[in-house]
Amino acid sequence: MKDISVCIGGQAGEGINKAGLLLARILSYSGYRIYMYYDYPSLIRGGHNYAVIRGSADERGAVSGSPDIVCALDQETVRRHGGKSAVIFDSDVVKAEGTAIPATTIIGEEKSPPIARNTVLIGAFCRAAGIPPEIMEDAIRHEFGKKADGNIRLALRGYHAGEEVMPIEVSPGNGLPILTGNDAIALGLIRGGLDAYVSYPMTPSSSILHTMATLAEGTPLLVIHPENEIAVITMALGLSYAGKKVAVGTSGGGFCLMNEGVSLAGMAEQPVVIVMAMRPGPSTGMPTYSSQGDLGFVLHAGHGEFPRLVVAPGTVAEAYEWSARILHLAWQFQIPAFILSDKNLGEHPASAAIDLEFPMPVPSAISIPQTYHRYCSTPDGISPFIPPPLKGNVVKVNSYTHDEQGITTEDPDTASVAAVKLIRKGAALEQQMGHFGCVEVEGVIDAPVALVCFGSTAGVCREAGERLGLRVVRVIVLEPFPLAQLGTSLRGVEEIIVVEENATGQLNTLLRTYGYRSSRRIGSVSGRPFGVSELVLRIQEVLQ
């Protein structure tokens, strides 16, 4: 079976993420599908950073047990990850058993910067795993571009200083792109018709902003970074009013600030897509770690009652597809629509098969009425949505309860009509969502015990489910809640185990609201994703 895990660790500022990506590329070129976990505290220098790269024949979305090989740039890496693994270490600074590589001496001789030590160890890893140097060179060329030559020299020195430890099966190929969830969200939004992205930096959503800003250069795509999250969402609503398809991105703390804008979008029926990347809270929490603790917050964000769409993709490919789709749906229904993500989905690269030409629905043509009323009442609650200027007409949108023209009202009948129109629109949305796969069933699809989960635990639950012979039911669309689809997915299930990375069981609560009782709940609040072996153990515990 093709499955290998390699860990590289050192201090912040030693290029661990970049090194992880290079290892990922090497394994990808060796014929593996990869998943990478990157762990870093919220600091710029020092501390302990590490990446675990897993290569597998199948798509994997989690790390398994301890890594097979550890590349240690510092003693801490050996201490934390050394255990049962083969260790390759910089023998100039680290004491360990295993493959000693004088990486610091080598970069001194090559007059390379200290950050290049990781490349030397990666060379030694390739030797250890029996990966041909040509593959290593290709991967370095891909990752380093113009600076490849120097790095290839360093990697080859590591390669020749190393030794073969556990050769893996190598079948050159696998050209799948390696994307993070955030990359996929950015590309999906672009595919879906995005005209503008507005965001204030906040981990773990920031890399969407960075990617978008780079991709937008020299194109008509607009990327704006305003003064704060309140400006982000209100500016986005202005763009939306002017006819642009727009998305914003943030994390919990920033989303707190955006809430008034969410209510405004709901009342004004001004569409916007909000990427909400969860991290542990409350307040600043652990900025660089992950959580599924904001599900309830997003489901209930804003005040008052209005329809919304909340989608939690679980894989990189899903993130692409649903980001494209949600933009379309937000505009079709003129609602705030959420992509609920987290650090574990957003920041961890994986091999991803995505469909470049993912077909987008074509919006139906709106006939321009003689007299346009922005909020004209219709059977499905969806009013024609036309941006200004519209000759002979004005377009009035309003945060107050309003009549069909958009003029403020407090008249009881008009107010009731307006509120009911929103609710009708919610029903129309719910009906429309029936056409999409809002629930994913994996593992043993007719097993009597089901793991129920959402979002980034997709990969780990799938694998644990496969190992234990369980059904894995994942709710992708959380609002409107796909009650009928969930019913079908859980047919014949005798026991439900809910797995989620929070303390209070927010998905569990949601399920209970709809009449589904779990017998067990597995939670985690460490900020780290479940590993497969860990989750298997936890499930076995609750099954006994």
Partner 1 sequence: MKGSDYISNAQNTWCPGCGNFVIQHTLKDLLAASVPPEEVVIVSGIGCHAKIADYMQTNSFYAIHGRGIPVATGIHLGNPALTVICSAGDGDAYAEGLDHLIFAAKRNVDITVIIHDNRVYGLTTGQYTPTSPAGFAGKSTPGGTQEDPLNPLDLMLASGATFIGRCYSRDKKGMQTVLTQAVQHKGFSFVEVLQVCASFYDAHDCYDEHVYTPEDHDPTNRDAAEQLIREWNYTGPGRIALGVLYTRDAMTFEERMLAGKEGTIDRTGIIRNALSGR
CB of 275 to partner 1, least distance (A): 17
CB of 533 to partner 1, least distance (A): 29
* x/- track of binding to partner 1 for residues 353-392 (CB under 8 A): -x-xx-----------------------------xxxxxx
Residue from the set 57, 150, 241, 414 that interacts with partner 1 by CB under 8 A:
241
CB hemisphere CA count around 423 (13 angstroms) = 8
The footprint of partner 1 on residues 385-424 (CB under 8 A) is 387-400, 402, 406-408
Residue from the set 148, 215, 256, 525 that interacts with partner 1 by CB under 8 A:
215
Is residue 211 a contact residue for partner 1 (CB under 8 A)? Answer: yes
Is residue 230 a contact residue for partner 1 (CB under 8 A)? Answer: yes
Cβ nearer to partner 1, comparing 43 with 368: 368
Backbone angles phi, psi at 452, to 5 degrees: -115, 130
Is residue 474 a contact residue for partner 1 (CB under 8 A)? Answer: no
Q: Exposed, middle or buried by CB within 10 Å (0-12, 13-18, 19+), for 265?
A: buried
DSSP sequence for 21-65: HHHHHHHHHTT-EEEEEEE--S-SSEEEEEEEEEEESS---S--S
Residue from the set 116, 264, 473, 486 that interacts with partner 1 by CB under 8 A:
264
If binding means CB under 8 A, how many residues of this protein chain bind partner 1? 63
Residue from the set 155, 196, 447, 486 that interacts with partner 1 by CB under 8 A:
196
Cβ nearer to partner 1, comparing 230 with 376: 230
- Report the C-alpha gap between 11 and 77 in whole angstroms: 9
- Report the C-alpha gap between 35 and 529 in whole angstroms: 13
Residue from the set 52, 154, 179, 209 that interacts with partner 1 by CB under 8 A:
179
Residue from the set 20, 181, 252, 261 that interacts with partner 1 by CB under 8 A:
261
Is residue 144 a contact residue for partner 1 (CB under 8 A)? Answer: no
Residue from the set 87, 88, 152, 237 that interacts with partner 1 by CB under 8 A:
237
Cβ nearer to partner 1, comparing 63 with 264: 264
Give the pairing of strands 196-199 and 246-251: parallel
Between the CA atoms of 138, 160, 72 and 538, what dihedral angle is there, to the nearest 10 degrees? Answer: 70
For residue 25, the tally of other CB atoms under 10 A from its CB is 22
Cβ nearer to partner 1, comparing 87 with 246: 246
Residue from the set 169, 260, 380, 495 that interacts with partner 1 by CB under 8 A:
260
CB of 100 to partner 1, least distance (A): 34
The footprint of partner 1 on residues 298-357 (CB under 8 A) is 354, 356-357
CB of 259 to partner 1, least distance (A): 11
- Report the C-alpha gap between 385 and 383 in whole angstroms: 6
CB of 143 to partner 1, least distance (A): 10
CB of 322 to partner 1, least distance (A): 16
- Report the C-alpha gap between 383 and 372 in whole angstroms: 10
Q: Pick the piece of the chain touching partner 1 (CB under 8 A) from 75-83, 153-161, 218-226, 453-461.
A: 218-226
Between the CA atoms of 188, 237, 275 and 482, what dihedral angle is there, to the nearest 10 degrees? Answer: -90
Contacts of 39 (CB under 8 A, 6+ apart): 49, 50, 51, 52, 528
Centroid of chain to Cα 330: 19
CB of 302 to partner 1, least distance (A): 11
CB of 500 to partner 1, least distance (A): 30
CB hemisphere CA count around 247 (13 angstroms) = 33
Residues written for the chain: 544
- Report the C-alpha gap between 299 and 340 in whole angstroms: 10
CB of 258 to partner 1, least distance (A): 11
Is residue 195 a contact residue for partner 1 (CB under 8 A)? Answer: yes
Backbone angles phi, psi at 224, to 5 degrees: -125, 135
Which residue do the tokens 């780290």 mark? 528
Cβ nearer to partner 1, comparing 263 with 509: 263
CB 229 within 8 A of CB 257: yes
Is residue 274 a contact residue for partner 1 (CB under 8 A)? Answer: no
Residue from the set 22, 53, 224, 470 that interacts with partner 1 by CB under 8 A:
224
CB of 177 to partner 1, least distance (A): 4
- Report the C-alpha gap between 231 and 258 in whole angstroms: 8
Which residue do the tokens 């439900």 mark? 496
Backbone angles phi, psi at 208, to 5 degrees: -65, -45
CB of 280 to partner 1, least distance (A): 28
CB of 412 to partner 1, least distance (A): 16
CB of 239 to partner 1, least distance (A): 4
Q: Which residues pair with 49 in a beta bridge?
A: 10
Residue from the set 193, 201, 253, 296 that interacts with partner 1 by CB under 8 A:
193
b/e map 151-180, b = 16+ CB within 10 Å: bbbbbbbbbebbeebeebebeeebebebbb
Cβ nearer to partner 1, comparing 126 with 178: 178
| Structural tokens at position 386 | 């036309």
Cβ nearer to partner 1, comparing 295 with 330: 330
Centroid of chain to Cα 181: 4
Angle (nearest 5°) at CA 537 between 533 and 538:
120
- Tell me which residues touch partner 1 (CB under 8 A): 177-179, 183, 186-187, 190-191, 193, 195-196, 198, 211, 215, 218-222, 224, 226-228, 230-231, 234-244, 246, 260-261, 263-264, 268, 354, 356-357, 387-400, 402, 406-408
